Structure 1
Amino acid sequence: MSPRRSVAEARNTKDMILTKAIDIASLDGLEGITIGRLADELKMSKSGVLGHFGTKQSLQLAAIRSVISQFRIHVVEPSMGRAPGLERLLALCDTWFDYVTDTGLPGGCLMTAAALEFDGRAGEVHDVVAEAWSDWDDLLRGELRRSGGDFDVDQALFEIVAFGPAVNRAVQLFGDRTAAERAKRAVRRVIGQ
């Protein structure tokens, strides 16, 4: 076997483990990711799983960082071509709600679930989740300020950020596929559109 093929196979195995871990976390939380469960579901040895990530926390961090990256690709990047201010704000919110409605994960938005799961815990996973949400708040706050609207920016931000988890809850608990449209209307109401 050539070294190049070996490296590619190792990368593929690591990606397969990470994908399974993200699926599990979307259903059972990041704490639901266990080395034993992954090994069983992937028909691997525990040492084989550990060999790619080292620790459960490293695997949790890889999972949450992967989800953050997907969020940027599916929500943030498509909106950045819009004019700063109101147009970009609405694009960010619209793509966010659409993404939350269909993340491609069996348990819905892992960022929403991770915020609830780790809000009262200390540690590196908490810090990564908190930083991602803080970055999202900062992005929305900046567009709210640039919009020049006649509203309290911090209050508008608070309300808008609450709509994402509300969409996730409506979709996941009740199968409500209209929640994103209601959230989009709610954002426009908050900013006086």
Structure 2
Amino acid sequence: MADRRIERGNQTRQLVLRRAVDLASVEGLEGLSLGRLASELELSKSGVFALFGSKEDLQLATIGAATKIFAEHVIEPARDTSSGLDRLWRTCTGWLTYSRDRVFPGGCFFYAASAEFDARTGKVHDALVAARADWLDHLERTAREAQQAGEIRPDADLSQLVFELAAFLEMANAESVLRDEFSCYDKASRAVLNRLRGVAADPSALS
């Protein structure tokens, strides 16, 4: 009986968080309300309140859920690619697909949430900073693996490379969401490809 209750609680928590990440990507983390989520999902308000101790707890859990979804759509698919320059390229194009396909209705969840909390302090701000650092660290590790494999020139500035790649991706997301137009993704893809060819030991390796 206890195991079934725990299982039902976990299922309810996942249901609430899936709706929360979608809402937050459009209306912001501050727009989240336990009462609203319970009403929309036709769940017991007391049951939903029991799962999250406060609005801040809900916001932090929502960031955690969004991180898992992001990894499933951007990080994991590229792991099937052999390490090196091609993995870096596929990670970037995977990010563009994640944004273009609206895995989150408001585009990139983390772009939206970071803009909302960038000038604030507190646990939610810190969680978003950590999530962004993890993403940029992942890009730099992937680039370093490519450099160690001899696929990126040894004199390439990887920190600068990652900064520019992330800027291309985020610009495409911002333009698409703001203007509801999608040609920016092709522009970003070409920009990423040209930048990677610029640091590649063999530019022809990227078709």
Alignment TM-score, normalising by the size of structure 1: 0.88
Match of 2:168 in 1: 163
* Pairing 1:120–2:124 present: no
In 2, the alpha carbon distance for the partners of 1:44 and 1:142 equals 43
Residue 18 of structure 1 deviates from its aligned partner by 1.4
* Pairing 1:188–2:188 present: no
Match of 1:17 in 2: 16
Residue 55 of structure 1 deviates from its aligned partner by 1.0
Residue 122 of structure 1: SS of its match in structure 2? coil
Match of 1:69 in 2: 68
Q: Unmatched 5+ residue regions in structure 1? A: none
Q: Is the 8 A contact 2:74 2:91 kept in 1?
A: yes
Report the count of equivalent residues.
Answer: 192
Inter-CA distance 44–77: structure 2 relative to 1 (3 Å threshold): closer
In 2, the alpha carbon distance for the partners of 1:10 and 1:137 equals 34
Moved more, 6-15 or 118-127: 6-15
Match of 1:152 in 2: 157
Match of 1:98 in 2: 97
Residue 41 of structure 1 deviates from its aligned partner by 2.4
Residue 136 of structure 1 deviates from its aligned partner by 1.3
* Pairing 1:47–2:52 present: no
Cα shift readout 1:65-111 (whole Å, capped 9, x = no counterpart): 11111111111111123232211110110111111112332222111
Cα shift readout 1:25-64 (whole Å, capped 9, x = no counterpart): 0111111112232233234454332111111111111111
In 1, the alpha carbon distance for the partners of 2:126 and 2:61 equals 13
Residue 120 of structure 1: SS of its match in structure 2? coil
Q: CA RMSD in A?
A: 2.0
Alignment TM-score, normalising by the size of structure 2: 0.83
Moved more, 94-103 or 149-158: 149-158
Match of 1:34 in 2: 33
In 2, the alpha carbon distance for the partners of 1:58 and 1:141 equals 31
In 2, the alpha carbon distance for the partners of 1:141 and 1:3 equals 45
